[in-house]
Amino acid sequence: MTRMISLSVSRRLWPIIGLVALLSVVLFPVPSSSQTVNRDDVLYILPYWVGGLGSTDADLLAEIEKVRQRLGPEGPYVKFGFALYVDIRMENWNVDLSNATAIRAVLATTIARIDGLIDTARRNNVPISLSLLTAIRGGYDPVQTASEGEDIRSMQWYSDNVLASGWWTHSRYARKAMAVQEAYIREIGKIVANRMAKYPDTLVAASGDGEVELADGVANRGAEIYADYSPFAVAEYSSPAICALTP
């Protein structure tokens, strides 16, 4: 009697069990080795590796192994790699801004750095992101040096009218400086977009400019004042009644 009741109850549950099994297959599929992974669904964990520029294959493999040991194994939807800094070195202040070939020629050093990092990452199957940097803080490259030499209004100034050497102003009134920067950055952007399309499993992200700041220094009397008092910045952000400078 007990056996028959058990059998009867089990038969009533069969449809429910079958439905649960079907839903589990539909909603929670088990990944197979042949399953195609959509790149847009992958989570990339890319800590900054400050010393990554110029690293060897052995260096890269050693560092990525440390990441894997600390964070655990990777899977189809979780990949470990690195974010790497790349300096954009602008070489010619007077380059023809309408000539993309000429601009790329003077960006050869930067492009070679980008391609070198991608090649190393590809050989070792490690995804990377590039963080692009122009000459940061008070640093110079040839274009920034020439810009300051031609017109000091294109640089930032401290509050006591002392030049903040090496710090480009962010004012749009520094028109030549802005036009030159834009031309260089647009070409670098095209290079990065090309490489991302060409190597989508290697170069998975890019960002920049990584360091865009206002000058700090002794001239601000240690008061932690971060501001630009250059004539162009004052003209752009002041009322015409206060400052009648016409760039």
pLDDT in tens, 76-116: 899 999 999 999 999 999 999 999 999 999 999 999 999 99
What pLDDT does 246 receive? 42
For residue 15, which phi and psi values (nearest 5 degrees)? Answer: -60, -40
Q: Quote the pLDDT of residue 35.
A: 67
In this prediction, the residues of the chain whose per-residue pLDDT falls under 50 are: 1-11, 13-28, 241-247
Find the angle CA(154)-CA(156)-CA(159) to the nearest 5 degrees: 140
Residue 222 burial (CB count, 10 A): 9
The pLDDT assigned to 218 comes to 58
- State how far the Cα of 101 lies from the Cα of 98, in Å rounded to an integer: 9
Supply the pLDDT for residue 86: 92
